[in-house]
Amino acid sequence: MLLFSIIAYLLLTVLVGFWASRKVKTSGDFMLAGRSLPLMLSSAAMFATWFGSETVFGASSEFLKSGLYGVIEDPFGAALCLILFGAFFAGKLYRMNLLTLGDYFKVRFGGRTERVASIFLAPPYIGYTAAQLVAMGLILNVVTGIATWQGVLVSALVVTLYTYVGGMWAISITDFIQSIIIITGLLVLAIILAGKAGGAGLVLSEMPKESLKFLPDPNPKAIVSYIAMWSVLGLGSLPSQDVYQRAMSSSSERTAVWSCYIAAFLYLSVAMLPLFISLCVRHMYPDQLTGDTQLALPNMVLLHTSLPIQILFFGSLLSAIMSTTSSSILAPAAIFSENLLKPLIGHRYTDKQLLMMTRICVLIFAASATIMACLRSNIYELVGESSILSLVSLFVPLTLGLYWKKANSTGALLSMVLGMITWIIFEVWDTSWPSLVPATGVSLLGMLAGVYFWPAKFEKLEKYGKD
């Protein structure tokens, strides 16, 4: 019955995707849902962007190992990203009326910077998408007994299919439905487990004091590492196409901004549920924590709960993961088609051809992520690595491009390239300091060098305005 329910849910999601495809007439409809989403759909889409496998599997696993200090990156850093994007980025970018984040780099810094930025924007999504596919593979492994890689293939096929046909419209509508299932499923499970464990107070009272640690030790290295943990998603995901396209799909600038704030509140609130559930698991079923702790929650639910709870829990898990996976497939596809392939073709294309190019890119990126998912299995690491790449290369030129008139294309290029090179060097060197710290610092120095040593005439936003 559980397997039948999962199959029915997957089929229903695909059907919703085909239904939503009726609204897709242009590439703008496919990438940004025609910039027409109301606050309710836009907020659900923003919330679902973040609430994926790393929150349910990765964060709960890290929480059991290291307490609150181990999950600064996610969910706290992820919620910070949404707040910052709403406060400082969403309004300015929405007024520019562009399809992709790569278009911003073109308008602000020129075509050459657009192409380099797009190269840095798209590839990180392969690892991020792979993390979601691994999680879905784990679920199908627990429920059906099939190998994880086989579950990855099935999952990739389903998500790719409805993303391919419906684009951002399909993602937004399914996100709204999936958000309701996520919140309901996790809340019901948390209440039931708290009751079985003797009450939430008892479960929380058994937490070791070190698990409540939230601030760093008072020494330079600990403080720098702490800031780095906040920055991985808090700053690293600001220059990301999936956050951008969901905010830009809103029906107005005000909706774009407020959807970020609402999503941040929802995310941080709902993300506490998997952490609490993991404490209940440790209290009642400590044997479930042996081996891969990423499997602790699904194994516990499968072995110790009734069928209705199993259906609700696995339905909420699939909802969380599928909503994140679909956007992380569409995001790089939009960047690749709009900012890399389109300039190569020049003006010899129609909108229908651009739409087809984007759909083909969906297939390419989905296939790449599927291969990576079959080769690697640590969800939290895959997500963190993908965000770090954006932080060390794109955060500085995006932010200074919006807020500093003197920022120029030379500085943007130096910032992106030198930041990435520095990160690679420090990763190979393997120091005890977080590699993203010196890399982000060098990225900033690259922008300053471009402005003051090669002071070209900086690009203006022209009709898009400077505010």
CATH number of the domain that 178 lies in? Answer: 1.20.1730.10
Q: Which long-range contacts (CB under 8 A, 24 or more apart) does 121-124 make?
A: 121/239, 121/240, 121/241, 121/332, 121/335, 121/339, 121/390, 121/394, 122/241, 122/331, 122/332, 122/335, 122/336, 122/340, 122/365, 123/332, 123/389, 124/240, 124/385, 124/386, 124/387, 124/389, 124/390
Average pLDDT over residues 230-259: 92
- pLDDT-derived band at 377, boundaries 50, 70, 90: low
Give the contacts of 248 (CB within 8 A, at least 6 positions apart).
Answer: 32, 35, 93, 94, 98, 256
Average pLDDT over residues 34-62: 82
Q: Is the pLDDT of residue 379 over 60?
A: no
Residue 425 lies in a domain: no
Bridge partners, residue 250, by sequence: 37
- pLDDT-derived band at 372, boundaries 50, 70, 90: confident
CB 90 within 8 A of CB 261: no
Residue 55 lies in a domain: yes
Residue 450 lies in a domain: no
Count the domains in the chain.
1
Distance CA 389, CA 436 (A): 9
pLDDT in tens, 298-334: 777 887 778 888 888 787 778 777 877 888 899 899 9
Q: Specify the pLDDT at position 292.
A: 60
Residue 57 lies in a domain: yes
Residue 451 lies in a domain: no
Residue 395 lies in a domain: no
Residue 44 lies in a domain: yes
Residue 14 belongs to domain spanning? 2-380
Q: Specify the pLDDT at position 70.
A: 86
CB 221 within 8 A of CB 433: yes
Residue 191 lies in a domain: yes
What's the DSSP call for residue 433? S
- pLDDT-derived band at 462, boundaries 50, 70, 90: very low
